[in-house]
Amino acid sequence: MNGYELQRTDGKGEGVFATRSFQAGETVMVGVIDRELDHNHAHASQIGEHRFVLHGGLTAKVNHSCDPNCGIRPNAGGAHDYVARQLITAGQEITFDYAMRNYTVEHFAVHCRCKSHRCRGLITGWKDLPAERKTDYHGLAAPYLLEIDDRTPVVPDGIN
């Protein structure tokens, strides 16, 4: 038994839910790449600065949350594994922040529907996360995001 299953969600279509408990730091789902893509789009996962893929299996059905219970960790195959950031109990929806894998997110113009107390209002990419949130995700976000940040000059607010 893998510890999760696909279920209907309240207002978000389908989602992946835990069927057993997972401890913080435990791998919840192992990612697999279905196929490589030539561009970014709403269902694409970024796996490198200029590389995008579609994940296969139920990992592709895990929903976004601005206060997720999982982070991501690239595996040996280049796909993203989902790792528990906190205790996840049976019946809880498994979630991650799309900003943990994609530097920019331009495909979700509608308001975020995660309903968390930390909701940003919009689904954004790593580039648009506040510094405190990036720190909070340390070790559970894709390493190439940090590499892009290190090469991107910081422009103070109000300067064009």
- The pLDDT, as a whole number, for residue 155 is 59
- The pLDDT, as a whole number, for residue 158 is 54
- The pLDDT, as a whole number, for residue 40 is 81
- The pLDDT, as a whole number, for residue 107 is 74
Q: Which parts of 21-73 fold into alpha helices (H)?
A: none
- Report long-range pairs for 146-153 (Cβ below 8 Å, ≥24 apart): 147/49, 148/49, 148/103, 152/127
Residues of the chain with pLDDT under 70: 1, 109, 153-160
CA-to-CA dists, residue 136 to 57, 92, 133, angstroms: 28, 21, 5
Q: Check if the beta carbon of residue 25 is closer than 8 Å to that of residue 84.
A: yes
- The pLDDT, as a whole number, for residue 126 is 95
